[in-house]
Structures are given as structure tokens and as C-alpha cells.
Amino acid sequence: MDYTYVSDYVPKEFRNLVKCFFDDARLIEEYWRMVRIDTYRIRNIWLDDEEILHTAIHSFKQMINKLKKGKVHNPIAYFKGVLNKQISKAYCPDLCG
């Protein structure tokens, strides 16, 4: 199924970015699921939805950059790692590890 079948819980901005590279509803939802997993503990405490979305988009762009250079073998895992580092470094350096 293409991107038009992505569930409504995935923000449009994120969906529109990811669909440029991966036109699969399940894959787009999987990327957003990684965002939800990494931000579960800190959502609405230290980060609002807008900050999370901005960080997720930035992390996805970083992953695409490395993917195009041939340095990524598992894009979802790499995205999750970049996202985790971005969140830890920028928003909760003492609490998130």
C-alpha cells in the first residue's frame, strides 16, 4: 500500500518527507513508531509534539544523507540511533543517558 494509506496518527509533515524516499504505508508508520518509542518517556514533560516532529524530521534527513552515501545497512535502526542521540543531546542530557 502506498503513502495514502498511512494512519492519521503520523504527522503529515513527517509522512510527506518519508514518502519521497519510501512510498510504503507500513514503512512510514514504522519510522514514526520508532519516534514514539524513543520519546515515550519524555513526551509532554520536556518535549512537545512540535519539537518531537522537528527532531524526527532532522534525524530522518541525516539518515537519508548517510543512506545515499552507502554507509547505512539498516535504515530504520540507523534512524532510531540518530533520533535517540539528537533527543539525548539536545533535550535531556542528564536524564536520557
Backbone torsions φ then ψ of 47, nearest 5 degrees: -125, 140
pTM value is 0.86
pLDDT tens readout for residues 53-76: 999 999 999 999 999 999 999 999
Residue 45 has pLDDT above 60, yes or no: yes
Cα angle 80, 46, 89; round to 5: 50
The secondary structure of 12-37 as a DSSP string is HHHHHHHTTT---HHHHHHHHHHHHH
> What's the rounded Cα separation, in Å, for the pair 24 and 18?
9
